[in-house]
Amino acid sequence: MTALNAFARTGAAVFAALAISGVMMPGTAAAAPSTVPFQVDPYVPLVDLPTPHLAAIVGEEPGVAVLHVQRAPGDGNPHSAVVHWLSLGTGAYGSASFPTLDAQPVTIRPGSGQVVAYVDPQAIGTPGLGTFFVP
């Protein structure tokens, strides 16, 4: 197992434990599609690189979520981020890559249940995280 895989698995296990223990805010289940912003944004300490603000859209289709970058006017230069996710309901896991802040949304299929997501801002800042419920 490579060091990166070990780090990703350890990070996912820590976030899963936090989510199960109730330390992190749970996402909300909704009958209609809803957008759930990640609770902790990654921090990029460089002035000319904006912080990626990520969110999940849930409720459009059962067992499916759409991860996307939330943009605001004047966000500045593009910056990349990778989101590693783990479904606490099904055990499914994976990664979604956003090469720039203008990247297209990424559809993930974790199945129904609570999902924990870890945002890796490509090693130039501190990570972010979010949790949301997929109906």
Q: For tokens 């912003």, what's the residue?
A: 37
Instruction: Give me the pLDDT at residue 87, please.
Output: 98
pLDDT tens digits, 109-124: 999 999 999 988 776 6
Classified as helix, coil or strand, 4 is helix
The reported pTM is: 0.71
Distance CA 117, CA 4 (A): 16
Return the closest-CA partner of residue 115 out of 9, 6, 28, 7.
28
Q: How many other CB atoms sit within 10 Å of the CB of residue 43?
A: 12
What average pLDDT is seen over the chain?
Answer: 77
CB 55 within 8 A of CB 77: no
pLDDT tens digits, 83-103: 999 999 999 999 998 887 678
Distance CA 64, CA 124 (A): 30
CB 133 within 8 A of CB 25: no
Residue 29: which pLDDT band, with cuts at 50, 70 and 90? very low
Residue 114: which H helix or E strand, with range? strand 113-120
Domains of the chain: 3-134 (2.60.40.10)
Q: For tokens 């609570």, what's the residue?
A: 114
